[in-house]
Chain A
Amino acid sequence: MTQEPKKMERRNFIGYMAAAIIATGVVVGAGTYLLKPSSTTTSTVTSTSTTTAVGTGATTTVTGPTTTISGPTTTIPQYVYTTSPSTPTYKFAWIVHGLTDPFFVPAIQGVKDADAQYGVTTDLLGPSTNDVPTQVNDLTTAVAAKYNGIACSMPDPTAFNSEVNAAMAAGIPVFTFNVDAANNRLGYIGNNPTVQGNAAGNRILASSISGVKIGSGDRALITDIPSVYSCHLRALAEISILQGAGLTVDHITLSNDIAPNISAIADLVRTDLEANPTTKVCHGCGNSDTSAMGEVAQALNLSGKIVVGGYDLSPTILGQIQAGNVSWTLADLPYLQGYVSVMLLYMYLQSHRSVAADMNTATTFVDSTNVAGYLAEHHYMS
């Protein structure tokens, strides 16, 4: 056997290895270059000096309707700032359980607005759809990456606890938003889903169709998404209120893969309503199912014949309210969940780690009386 074939084999092998390295390097290097976060800018604030004249008196004499105060005046000088006090360029992680969920579009806008306001950078992390182990891994990596602060939704009551403890022990403040868990996090920005569910149930009982109040014997259809704990708690609270008032309550349970699919949910709801034409109430527990119910109400021309309600803000739901197909939605105010989570992280660090708070993003009903204002707000329209 001559040397030639072995040399060729070696050359080929070197070539293939080189190709592997170069190809991998180009892909990763380009991605690293393109995806490196941009530098942050800090904003400057200029204020001008003012003087305030204040009068003080050693005595106050009151005679009849006139009050006379006499004494020397004192001028209090104000300091002049030409720039805001310098702050470090903080880098935060915002980890959510469904980056592609339409509900979080305004929330992400809120994060970006807060970044611009406070001169910080916030990286958006999390799985596309609800996947707790993946999200826990994201939180673990965020702790290792030594972010200055972390905001994380926690759709599981216990899975995130050890990572939150690790973050707090490492000096990284953690706030939760949208879905809370009982652990060492500093604060929660969001709603109490049980309170929301109770409010929705009571609103249903206060509603009427053609002058006849909703009440005992009427049928209600509720959707539930057990894999999203906040949605599940809302549904449980509504069901409890309605059953307590004597309504017949049936519910459709939506799995994780179907939960974001408005069209598929609409098919399920339509099938149910066509099989149960005496249904008086249709209530969702989240964004997609509320949108689906509005779509079905429109398709079956049920406006004024059935009470349709739900949760969350989206252009679709707001449009359905304006069109009269959906009676109301409970605004979870996702924009605030994004904005305030960044704001609280910033405030916590700027206050030398002393200011932390919860924020209830309110149980506000959006209906035909106030939907116009929400439609005009840019951050509710994705």
Chain B
Amino acid sequence: MQAPAHSKILRKVWSIRELSILIATIAVGFFFYLGNHIFVTPYNLSIVLMMSSDVGLVAIPMALLLISGEFDLSVGSVYALVPIIANVMYKTVLPNIWITSIISLLMACMFGLANGLLTVKVGIPSFIVTMGTWFFFGSLALIVSGGLPQGIPTTSFYNLGGYVTISGLPFAVEMIWLAGTAVLFYLILEKTRHGNWSMGTGSNKMAAIMMGVKTNRVKIINFMLTSLFAGLLGILDLSRMSATTPTQGTALTFEAIAAAVIGGVSLSGGAGSIIGTLIGSILLGSIYNGLILIGAGYYWFQGFVGAIVVIAAVINLRVAKARGSNA
């Protein structure tokens, strides 16, 4: 006897991996709405999405890297260093901020390449390598900038990451970048060989190698993508604020990892979801924005994030076990 149509639909809905995090995000939004109705106004939601972009643009590539079984702790320093390089080049040797931004993004790729080579060729755990590069790139940011904040005149460069007004509402262009990044990495992970190889490398590296997967190349590419997008976020923030400081991004690394974990990425590799990471980023942005709206402030943000990361990790583990036991 065939199952009724509605139960087929329900089964399909329940099989959506990201359903729990989506429901949690909606629940969090609802509670902040109860705390301050402004939370769901279009203007505020646009700010939530902007704040989500500040994490998501790094969390999504980080998710792919985590799925392939590696860490990158240096993203916060790369985020600070890349716009400073762009700005200093602009002021000293090449008075075109667009070209200097592209050059500095290429340098970001090189930073990722360094992380990848040290990890896969030298054999040092990525945690150690990227912790070292976190300090190194952070120091470079201070040296290149002289420790000083860097500003640029507001020009057409503002349109790269600034605000545009649609129907009287300001929308940060970063949101469009976030949407595009999510689509891109979803396609990479779900539809391309590289994504498939990333998943295989993270779940069982030896088996992947035996099946002909070039695991080293996979990891190096993922390191480069992570650094590239960390640098891109720095450039977008430079565009939006017309300023950058060498000490920004101190919490970015762990917020990006938190968003990925909340979204269902396994820290041991081999499992995860780009859509889940995107929703995790939106959840973090909602929490940060909502806490300000209810007057709680920054101190509570880390506490809430910590609690939700642990809860999400436990839930994901249980769900994975339940799915695995019924395969």
Q: Which positions in A face B, CB cutoff 8 Å?
A: 5-6, 8-10, 12-14, 16-17, 19-21, 23-25, 27-29, 31-32, 35-37, 99, 121, 123-134, 136-138, 140-142, 144-146, 155-159, 161-162, 166, 224-227, 229, 232, 253, 255-257
Is A144's CB under 8 angstroms from B243's CB?
no
14 A-B residue contacts at CB 8 Å?
A16-B315, A27-B307, A35-B295, A123-B292, A129-B250, A130-B245, A131-B247, A145-B292, A155-B149, A156-B243, A157-B151, A158-B151, A232-B148, A256-B247
Interfacial chain B residues near A6, Cβ < 8 Å: 326
Q: Which of A9, A19, A166, A229 has the most CB of B within 10 A?
A: A9
Check A37/B32 contact, CB under 8 A, given A20-B23, A132-B248.
no
Report how far A223 CA is from B177 CA in the complex, Å. 41
- Say how far B74's CB is from chain A's closest CB, in angstroms: 15
Interfacial chain B residues near A137, Cβ < 8 Å: 47, 50-51, 54, 288
B 286-327 to A, binary, CB cutoff 8 A, 1 in contact else 0: 011101111111111000100110011001001100110010
Q: Which of B27, B292, B319 contacts A141 (CB 8 A)?
A: B292
Interfacial chain B residues near A20, Cβ < 8 Å: 20, 23-24, 311-312, 315
- Say how far A334's CB is from chain B's closest CB, in angstroms: 19
Is B295's CB under 8 angstroms from A255's CB?
no
Interfacial chain B residues near A146, Cβ < 8 Å: 38
Is B27's CB under 8 angstroms from A131's CB?
no
Interfacial chain B residues near A121, Cβ < 8 Å: 295
Report how far A28 CA is from B293 CA in the complex, Å. 13
Interfacial chain B residues near A128, Cβ < 8 Å: 298-299
Is A157's CB under 8 angstroms from B47's CB?
no
Is A227's CB under 8 angstroms from B246's CB?
yes
Report how far A142 CA is from B36 CA in the complex, Å. 12
Interfacial chain A residues near B151, Cβ < 8 Å: 156-159
B44 adjacent to chain A (CB < 8 Å): yes
Is A141's CB under 8 angstroms from B293's CB?
yes
Q: Which of B163, B298, B326 contacts A134 (CB 8 A)?
A: B298
Is B149's CB under 8 angstroms from A21's CB?
no
B88 adjacent to chain A (CB < 8 Å): no
Closest Cβ neighbor of A13 among chain B residues:
B14
Is A21's CB under 8 angstroms from B163's CB?
no
B 51-93 to A, binary, CB cutoff 8 A, 1 in contact else 0: 1001000000000000000000000000000000000000000
Q: Which positions in B face A, CB cutoff 8 Å?
A: 11, 14, 19-20, 23-24, 27-28, 31-32, 34-36, 38, 41, 43-44, 47, 50-51, 54, 142, 146-149, 151, 154, 162-163, 170, 237, 240-243, 245-251, 287-289, 291-300, 304, 307-308, 311-312, 315, 318-319, 322-323, 326
Is B247's CB under 8 angstroms from A141's CB?
no
Is A144's CB under 8 angstroms from B38's CB?
yes
Interfacial chain A residues near B14, Cβ < 8 Å: 10, 13-14
Report how far A53 CA is from B38 CA in the complex, Å. 56
The A interface, classified by DSSP as helix, strand, loop or mixed, is helix
- Say how far B52's CB is from chain A's closest CB, in angstroms: 11
Is A35's CB under 8 angstroms from B292's CB?
no
Check A145/B293 contact, CB under 8 A, given A31-B304, A136-B241, A156-B149.
yes
Report how far A93 CA is from B149 CA in the complex, Å. 25
Is A226's CB under 8 angstroms from B148's CB?
yes
Check A31/B296 contact, CB under 8 A, given A132-B149, A132-B241, A140-B47.
yes
Q: Closest 7 interchain pairs by CB?
A: A226-B147, A256-B247, A159-B243, A35-B296, A159-B241, A123-B295, A28-B31
Report how far A159 CA is from B247 CA in the complex, Å. 14
Report how far A140 CA is from B322 CA in the complex, Å. 43
Q: Which of B24, B242, B292 contacts A21 (CB 8 A)?
A: B24
Is A25's CB under 8 angstroms from B311's CB?
no
Interfacial chain A residues near B142, Cβ < 8 Å: 255
Report how far A20 CA is from B317 CA in the complex, Å. 12
Is B27's CB under 8 angstroms from A25's CB?
yes
- Say how far B176's CB is from chain A's closest CB, in angstroms: 17
Report how far A152 CA is from B312 CA in the complex, Å. 35
Check A9/B292 contact, CB under 8 A, given A20-B20, A21-B24, A133-B241.
no
- Say how far A21's CB is from chain B's closest CB, in angstroms: 5
Interfacial chain A residues near B148, Cβ < 8 Å: 226-227, 229, 232
Report how far A363 CA is from B326 CA in the complex, Å. 73
- Say how far A75's CB is from chain B's closest CB, in angstroms: 51
- Say how far B61's CB is from chain A's closest CB, in angstroms: 19
Is B300's CB under 8 angstroms from A35's CB?
yes
Is B298's CB under 8 angstroms from A27's CB?
no
Is B247's CB under 8 angstroms from A257's CB?
yes
Q: Which of A32, A129, A225, A229 contacts B32 (CB 8 A)?
A: A32
Closest Cβ neighbor of A140 among chain B residues:
B47
Is B47's CB under 8 angstroms from A25's CB?
no
Is B247's CB under 8 angstroms from A227's CB?
yes
Is B295's CB under 8 angstroms from A37's CB?
yes
Is B47's CB under 8 angstroms from A144's CB?
yes
Report how far A125 CA is from B301 CA in the complex, Å. 11
- Say how far B23's CB is from chain A's closest CB, in angstroms: 6
Is B311's CB under 8 angstroms from A36's CB?
no
Report how far A101 CA is from B151 CA in the complex, Å. 25
Closest Cβ neighbor of A19 among chain B residues:
B315
- Say how far A142's CB is from chain B's closest CB, in angstroms: 7
Report how far A177 CA is from B319 CA in the complex, Å. 51
Is A141's CB under 8 angstroms from B149's CB?
no
Q: Which of B142, B148, B240, B297 has the most CB of A within 10 A?
A: B297
Is B31's CB under 8 angstroms from A29's CB?
yes
Is A157's CB under 8 angstroms from B243's CB?
yes
Closest Cβ neighbor of A232 among chain B residues:
B148
Interfacial chain A residues near B298, Cβ < 8 Å: 99, 125-128, 134, 138
- Say how far B294's CB is from chain A's closest CB, in angstroms: 6
Is B295's CB under 8 angstroms from A25's CB?
no
Report how far A20 CA is from B288 CA in the complex, Å. 20
Interfacial chain B residues near A24, Cβ < 8 Å: 24, 27-28, 308, 311
